[in-house]
Amino acid sequence: MKSTSNILSTPRRCRATFALTLALLVFLSSSGFCDDGAGKTVDRLSKWSLLFGIGSNLTLTNFEGVMISAKRAISSDRAWRVVVLMRGSARAQTDDNFYYSYNQTDSRRHVDDNYWKSDIGVSYLAYIKSTRQIRVYTGAGPRFAYSRHLTEVAYSNLGESYYAWRKDATYQREIDVGATVYLGVEWSVIPSIGLMAEYGADLGYSWLRSERDIGGASGRISKSDNDTFELDSSPVKFGLAVYF
C-alpha cells in the first residue's frame, strides 16, 4: 500500500458539499431563476480565463489540491484548458519515553515527514448547461504527475537529542501517467470575475520506487518497485475564475 494514500483521499463531506452545490445551481438554472428576462444565455465574450482553486486542509505546512489553470475558449460552449495541480505536506513530531526495545525503554523518537506532488494536464472542456450567471461544465484529457516522499526517523537517549544512535530513512518517487475527467460549475459574480467548484477523478498507470536506509550509513539499504493501474478521486476544489 502506498504511503501517500491518506494524503490523496477526499473527505466525504467535501464530495457531499460539492454535490449539493451543483444540484442547487442546476435546479436554479433549470427553473429560470438565473436567466435574463428573455431567457437567453449570455455567451462569454472573453477568449481567455484564469482559474485559481484550493482543496481541503490548506495550512502553511499542508496543502491539498491547489490548482492554477488557464483556459482558452474556442466557441461559446467549448474550450481548451491547461491545469497545474500541487499537493504537499510537512510534518515534524517528537515522542519522548518511546519504547524501542526491552533495553531501550526511555528513548526519544523524532520524525520528519515531507511530501510533495505536482500534476500537469491538458483537457478539452464543454459547457453542458449555461444560463446568464451559471455554467455547468465537464472535461477530460491526459495528465502527468511526479511526487516525492521522504520520511526520516531518528532515535536518541533522553537528554541527548544531539546524538542519535539510530537513523532510518524512507525515500519514495512516483510517476503517474493517465487521464483525468472532471465536473464543475462556474458562477459569474460580475462579468469579469466568477466563483468555481470542481470535482474529478484520475485513471492511469503509476510507477513507485521505494528506497529504505535502515540504521544510517552503517545500516542496510533496500529498494523496491511497484507498478499499478489506479482510479483515484481528486480533492474537491473551490476557487476564483477571472475572465479577460
* CATH code of residue 112: 2.40.160.20
Average pLDDT estimate for 211-231: 80
108, pLDDT greater than 60: yes
End-to-end CA, the chain: 45
Per-residue model confidence as pLDDT tens digits over 16-45 = 555 555 555 455 444 444 444 333 333 444
Our count of domains for the chain comes to 1
> What local confidence, expressed as pLDDT, does residue 155 receive?
80
Give the pLDDT band of residue 101 (cuts 50, 70, 90): low
Per-residue model confidence as pLDDT tens digits over 172-218 = 999 999 999 999 999 888 888 889 888 889 999 999 999 988 875 55
Q: How many CB atoms lie within 10 A of CB 198?
A: 27
Mean pLDDT is lowest, of 104-108, 146-150, 157-161, 174-178, for 157-161
> What local confidence, expressed as pLDDT, does residue 121 receive?
95
Q: Which residues contact 94 (CB under 8 A, 6 or more apart)?
A: 108, 109, 110, 111
> What local confidence, expressed as pLDDT, does residue 6 receive?
36
Task: Tell which wins on pLDDT, 139 or 34.
Answer: 139
> What local confidence, expressed as pLDDT, does residue 9 receive?
38
Strands 193-214 and 220-233: antiparallel
- Helix (H) or strand (E) run with residue 19 in it: helix 12-30
Domain that holds residue 193: 5-243
80, pLDDT greater than 90: yes
- Helix (H) or strand (E) run with residue 74 in it: none
Give the pLDDT band of residue 64 (cuts 50, 70, 90): low
1, pLDDT greater than 60: no
How many Å is the Cα radius of gyration of the chain? Answer: 23
> What local confidence, expressed as pLDDT, does residue 81 receive?
95
Q: Which residue has the cell 518517487?
A: 173
Average pLDDT over all residues of the chain: 77
Give the pLDDT band of residue 65 (cuts 50, 70, 90): low
165, pLDDT greater than 70: no
> What local confidence, expressed as pLDDT, does residue 100 receive?
65
